[in-house]
Every structure is written in C-alpha cells, then in structure tokens.
C-alpha cells in the first residue's frame, strides 16, 4: 500500500528506534519539514540521523518527565515549532496466566501510559501557544477487551484509548487534533517475544502506511489490519458472556 502525501510540518516521533515508530519516521522523511526522533537507544537514533533526510536524534527515557520536557524545549528551539507528535513508545513481555509480575506491570504503566502522559504534558502548552498541533497516540487493539497473558500490557492500552478520547474532547477548542492508532499484530521487537501464531501479522512498514493513510483522511481512530480489526471491534461491543465464551473457545483451539 503506497503512502499518500501529508503535510505534517515539524514532527517529533517518540519510540522511534525500532518498530512502528522508526518505520513511520522514515516513511514521512521528505513529507515533513524536520523530524525529531527520540528513544532510549541512542545508537539507533544516530543511525537514523546519519541518513540525513531531515532526521535529528534527541535521545531520552520516556519515563523521565524532566527529560521529556527538556527534549521538547530543545526541539522547539531547534525547529521553531512542533506540529505533529507521534507517541509510539511501548514495553511488553509475555507472562503466564496468573503471573502478577509487579515489576513488569509497573514497567508497562511507566512506559506505555505515563510515558505518553509525560509527552502530552510537555506538548500541550507548546501547541496551545502555537495555536495548533496534532498528537498521535499509538494504542492497540488489545486495549478493546481483556485478553489472556496481557496483564502488563492490555490495561495500559485501554487507558490510552480512554486518554485519547478524553483529550479529543478537551483539546479541540485549542485547535489541537488527537489521533488514536490501534494496531493489531505488527512484526516488531516486542511481538517477536510472542510464542503463538499471530493472526494477520503485518510489517512495521505496512503499519506506517496505514497510519499515514488514516492521517491523510483525518480519522480520529486508525485501526488495522482488516478484517482482524473489525472482528476485534465487534468483540469490543459483544455481551460479556458471548465474549468470554468466544475467547475461551479460541484458547482451547490453541491448546
């Protein structure tokens, strides 16, 4: 699927060292005026910067609110504006059913949810001052309903879905646009940890194409791939008894 052309202005991609974030940053090079890329992996970011194409590395730890605030100020000073921000940092590792691993759960909350909050806290005052902005929050279809073995992941993505809906209502008056991205299974370093067959697994490049296409159409929610996303959407609205019965059958089929 070829990406349509968009005009995202000066872009900040957080979680850009690999996976969807990296693919998105590289896809929009040539469309954006400038691209700031952030993640903990400094070497990966510098490799992207070495390509040229308007990409500049701003390494940071998304769990450090002060580091995120400093990076936002540095990017603003360098580019003069932050027009579009894509929040795609994520943490996950598989757990066994009933394994309530506090360290892993805390990492999920700090990276997936609080990391997004740190970025939004830094971005909203900048975008309000500019009089415009666009924040893209990468959630997951796993945030639609509870799924097995995701106690350290799915609930954080459900929180991001609610956060995006809340921010849309709160920030439209300031001309700040919110986009929610809910991918299915994407071939990234995170999903390589999975030990099961992932339905409709797509590449990070394909995911970036879906996101850019949805941004061009100004959709609030961009979910993919189809038909998997539609099935998950139906399950999201299914009665509880039906949902748990269907998921239980799928688990038995896997076992």
Q: Tell me: the pLDDT tens digits for 8-40? A: 999 999 999 999 999 999 999 989 999 999 999
pLDDT band, very low/low/confident/very high, at 2 (cuts 50, 70, 90): low
Question: What residue spans define the domains of the chain?
Answer: 10-254
Report the Cα–Cα distance between both ends of the chain, in Å, rounded. Answer: 35
pLDDT, tens only, 76-125 = 999 999 999 999 999 988 888 889 999 999 999 999 999 999 999 999 99
pLDDT, tens only, 114-167 = 999 999 999 999 999 999 999 999 999 999 999 988 999 999 999 999 999 999
pLDDT band, very low/low/confident/very high, at 196 (cuts 50, 70, 90): confident
pLDDT, tens only, 45-88 = 999 999 889 999 999 999 999 999 999 999 999 999 999 999 99
3-state SS assignment for residue 30 = coil
How far are the Cα atoms of 54, 127, 234, 237 from residue 70, in angstroms, in the given order?
21, 16, 42, 41
CATH T-level assignment (fold) for domain 10-254:
Rossmann fold (3.40.50)
Dihedral angle computed from the Cα positions of residues 239, 92, 17 and 125, in that order, rounded to the nearest 10 degrees: 60
pTM of the prediction?
Answer: 0.94
Q: Please determine, for residue 195, whether its predicted confidence score (pLDDT) is greater than 80.
A: no
pLDDT of residue 75: 98
Dihedral angle computed from the Cα positions of residues 239, 148, 191 and 61, in that order, rounded to the nearest 10 degrees: 100
Decide if 39 contacts 115 (C-beta within 8 A).
no
**Mean pLDDT for the chain?**
94
pLDDT band, very low/low/confident/very high, at 249 (cuts 50, 70, 90): confident
Q: What is the mean pLDDT of residues 207-227?
A: 97
In order, the DSSP letters of 158-225 are HHHHHHHHHHHHHHGGGTEEEEEEEE--EESTTGGG--SPPTT-EEHHHHHHHHHHHHHTT-SEEEES
């Amino acid at each position: 699927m070829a990406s349509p052309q968009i005009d995202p202005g000066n872009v900040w991609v957080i979680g850009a060292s690999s996976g969807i974030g990296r693919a998105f940053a590289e896809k929009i090079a040539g469309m954006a005026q400038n691209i700031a890329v952030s993640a903990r992996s400094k070497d990966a970011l510098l490799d992207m910067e070495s390509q040229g194409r308007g990409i500049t590395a701003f390494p940071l730890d998304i769990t450090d609110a002060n580091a995120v605030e400093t990076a936002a100020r540095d990017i603003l000073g360098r580019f003069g504006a932050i027009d579009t921000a894509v929040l795609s940092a994520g943490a996950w590792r598989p757990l066994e059913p009933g394994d309530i691993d506090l360290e892993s759960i805390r990492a999920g909350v700090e990276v997936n949810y609080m990391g997004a909050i740190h970025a939004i806290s830094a971005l909203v005052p900048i975008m309000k001052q500019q009089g415009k902005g666009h924040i893209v929050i990468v959630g997951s279809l796993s945030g639609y309903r509870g799924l097995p073995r995701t106690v350290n992941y799915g609930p954080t993505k459900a929180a991001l879905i609610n956060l995006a809906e809340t921010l849309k209502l709160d920030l439209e008056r300031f001309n700040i646009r919110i986009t929610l991205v809910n991918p299915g299974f994407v071939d990234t370093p995170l999903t390589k940890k999975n030990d099961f067959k992932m339905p409709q697994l797509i590449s990070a490049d394909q995911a970036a194409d879906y996101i850019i296409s949805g941004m061009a159409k100004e959709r609030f929610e961009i979910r993919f791939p189809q038909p998997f996303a539609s099935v998950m959407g139906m399950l999201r609205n299914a009665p509880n008894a039906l949902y748990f019965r269907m998921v239980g059958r799928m688990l038995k089929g896997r076992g």
